[in-house]
């Protein structure tokens, strides 16, 4: 609807002047003196499509005459095609309302200020059409971490970066700080951090986020966090079963490990970044999962076999996690004790004892979420369980671990081509043949497309069960 488009405001100086976004739209309104008739005529006019329907606009307004408004009179904004002084533009319902002398048609000047316009409205007004990407349009996507919005602006939008950031803060109440990445993740640090510039707001990047019912606190400039991976975190966590052991080689601050611990999964969680390790320790304590999640600060390539040996040692030592009685059990116990004084009531059940879950001998899942280089860590799995063949099929019902390795691959015309590309790289590193397919079939990997990270690049997760010729090979 042309009347409800924002005014064109080009800012060569890069300064946001909010006053320039004021716009007055001349409308007609159905004035209803009797307040008890407002609901009736609103329903009638809406059903007849004679009322104004525009996003984020309240159609019931005070009467434009201040004296009438002071008496409580209201009016209903009418469709833009209706003119107050031209009855030929009135619809049948409006004419009926006027003929019954319950409604009068009056002019109404609707003034829209900066606060009304959406982020997209404002940016389309500020950025010239020739500067807007024909495929992606105005930049709207960004990562968030607490109060921080993280942009990755293309070169074409850099002249408008301050304006974009300022409007984002205005239009997103939870955002106080906007930053823009100035180099790719990992280019300047081995810890997946990145250089950035603050475009708007508070320079404080200490944030708190919640994901999968867990709370994490961290300095966004010192650790890796990507809000767009929430679904991937949940997808893998759903695969983990209570009582299993998961080894998270590149755990970061714990988005896989801590929620898994919440559901009773044992996790050996490692990250090479000392700052991530500190935040991981904090998350473990903050979310009360220390019985299940153990933090480590080791080189991931070394940690693969160290974790397998450590889990087996914990099993041999009889280590376990104790579950306190649930809240329901405690409530039932209190109720039973309260009723115990009444001899006609069944005696209370014995006090529930903490339950113990032993740590198993082997790891069920390995997670390697470092897509830029995780595949290069795969040679570390050679000899993972050498000498411990009796722990697995066919000697027991235990299967060899499932490995989930994240990676990047270029987009290709053939949608299957990236899957084969990923498997070829895995095969090269493991020294065995891996092909796309059912991961429960030896030598097959399920390749899940996690997300698009760039116009020509996707992120994948390859899940496959470790083969005996790898797990039981000699350790190098």
What whole-number distance in Å separates Cα of residue 251 and Cα of residue 280?
A: 8
Q: In this structure, what DSSP letter does residue 342 have?
A: S
Is 230 assigned a ligand-binding role in the annotation?
Answer: no
Q: Tell which residue, 441, 228, 257, 235, has the closest CA to residue 366.
A: 257
Instruction: Compute the radius of gyration of the chain from its Cα atoms.
Output: 31
Strand ranges, E, within 289-394: 293-296, 320-323, 355-358, 365-368
Cα 387 to Cα 102, 318, 390, 471, 475, distances in angstroms: 92, 21, 8, 10, 10
Is 300 assigned a ligand-binding role in the annotation?
Answer: yes
For residue 31, what are the β-bridge partners? 75, 104
Helix, strand, coil share of the chain (percent; to 5): 35, 25, 40
Is 406 assigned a ligand-binding role in the annotation?
Answer: no
Q: Tell which residue, 186, 206, 203, 204, has the closest CA to residue 195.
A: 186
153 in Cβ contact with 164 (< 8 Å): yes
What whole-number distance in Å separates Cα of residue 44 and Cα of residue 51?
A: 9
Angle at 351 between CA 348 and CA 355, to 5 degrees: 140
DSSP states of 36-76: GGHHHHHHHHHHTT-B---TT--SEEE-SSHHHHHTT-EEE
Continuous segment of H or E residues that includes residue 428? helix 417-430
381 in Cβ contact with 304 (< 8 Å): yes
DSSP three-state, residue 267: strand
DSSP states of 313-324: HHHHTT-EEEEP
For residue 307, what are the β-bridge partners? none
DSSP three-state, residue 210: strand
- Annotated binding residues: 233, 299-300, 369
Annotated binding-site positions for S-adenosyl-L-methionine:
233, 299-300, 369
């Amino acid at each position: 609807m042309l009347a409800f488009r924002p005014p064109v405001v080009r800012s060569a100086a890069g300064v946001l002047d909010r006053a320039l976004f004021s716009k007055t739209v001349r409308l007609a309104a159905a004035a209803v003196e009797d307040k008890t008739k407002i609901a009736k005529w609103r329903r009638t006019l809406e059903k007849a499509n004679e009322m104004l329907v525009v996003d984020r606009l309240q159609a019931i307004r005070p009467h434009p005459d201040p004296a009438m408004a002071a008496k409580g009179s209201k009016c209903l904004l009418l469709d833009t095609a209706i003119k107050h002084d031209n009855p030929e533009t009135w619809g049948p319902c409006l004419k009926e309302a006027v003929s019954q002398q319950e409604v009068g048609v009056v002019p109404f000047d609707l003034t829209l200020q900066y606060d009304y316009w959406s982020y997209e409205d404002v940016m389309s007004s500020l950025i010239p059409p020739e500067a807007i990407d024909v495929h992606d349009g105005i930049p709207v996507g960004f990562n968030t971490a607490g109060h921080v919005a993280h942009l990755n602006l293309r070169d074409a939008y850099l002249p408008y970066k301050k304006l974009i950031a300022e409007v984002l803060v205005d239009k997103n109440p939870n955002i106080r700080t906007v930053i823009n990445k100035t180099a790719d993740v990992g280019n300047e640090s081995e810890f997946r951090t990145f250089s950035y510039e603050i475009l708007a707001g508070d320079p404080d990047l200490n944030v708190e986020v919640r994901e999968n019912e867990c709370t994490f606190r961290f300095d966004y400039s010192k650790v890796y966090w990507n809000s767009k991976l929430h679904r991937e975190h949940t997808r893998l966590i759903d695969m983990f079963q209570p009582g299993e052991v998961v080894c998270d080689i590149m755990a970061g601050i714990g988005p896989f490990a801590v929620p898994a611990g919440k559901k009773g999964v044992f996790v050996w969680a490692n990250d090479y970044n000392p700052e991530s390790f500190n935040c991981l320790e904090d998350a473990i304590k903050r979310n009360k999962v220390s019985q299940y999640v153990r933090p480590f600060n080791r080189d991931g390539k070394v940690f693969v076999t160290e974790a397998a040996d450590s889990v087996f040692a914990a099993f041999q030592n009889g280590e376990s996690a104790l579950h306190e009685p649930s809240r329901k059990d405690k409530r039932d116990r209190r109720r039973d004790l309260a009723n115990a004084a009444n001899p006609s009531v069944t005696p209370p059940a014995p006090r529930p004892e903490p339950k113990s879950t032993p740590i198993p001998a082997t790891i069920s899942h390995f997670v390697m979420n470092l897509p830029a280089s995780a595949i290069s860590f795969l040679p570390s799995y050679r000899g993972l369980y050498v000498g411990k063949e009796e722990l697995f099929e066919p000697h027991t019902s235990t299967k060899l671990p499932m490995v989930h390795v994240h990676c990047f691959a270029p987009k290709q015309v053939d949608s299957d081509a990236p899957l084969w590309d990923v498997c070829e790289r895995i095969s090269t590193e493991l020294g065995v043949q891996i092909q796309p397919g059912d991961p429960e079939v030896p030598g097959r990997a399920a390749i899940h497309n996690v997300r698009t990270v760039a116009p020509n690049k996707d992120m994948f997760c390859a899940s496959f069960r470790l083969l005996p010729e790898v797990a039981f090979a000699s350790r190098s």
